[in-house]
Amino acid sequence: MSVFGTIMSKIFRHPKAQAAPPAAPAAQSRPATVPASPTAQTAPAAQAAAPAPAVDVEAVLGVMAQDAGQSLDWRHSIVDLLKLLSIDSSLANRKELASELGYTGDTGDSASMNIWLHKAVMRKLAENGGLVPDSLR
């Protein structure tokens, strides 16, 4: 499994992961000139269009941080985020994650790479159904 896949798995499958409340569906209106058909099949279409519930990434990580038994700055540090998730935080593993996420900078400049990685991980979590506040992106 990829490093990012492991990150997603640890967050999205965490026992304390709570789905965000679903958004209320917009009411569908019919034009006044078209009578409602009792045979219209709107229920299956509505069920098929319903997306999977999003996971509140910040809440899950917050619970994990409380249970960690150590102070980790996961909100700003990719190293601490990986430690919180019990994932290898070595430079070699972070370089692998950078490669997976398309980092084009100098991997020898670990400080710049780490800042980029944290933001990229949060963006990718959001792209994959996680609720991530703008302050973490």
Domain boundaries, the chain: 1-15+54-129
CB 25 within 8 A of CB 34: no
Predicted confidence (pLDDT) per residue in 96-131, tens digit: 999 999 999 999 999 999 999 999 999 999 999 999
pTM (2 d.p.): 0.75
CB 117 within 8 A of CB 43: no
Residue 10 has pLDDT above 80, yes or no: yes
How many angstroms separate the CA atoms of 82 and 136, rounded?
A: 15
pLDDT of residue 6: 97
CA nearest 127: which of 23, 77, 24, 57? 57
Which whole number is the average pLDDT over 78-95? 98
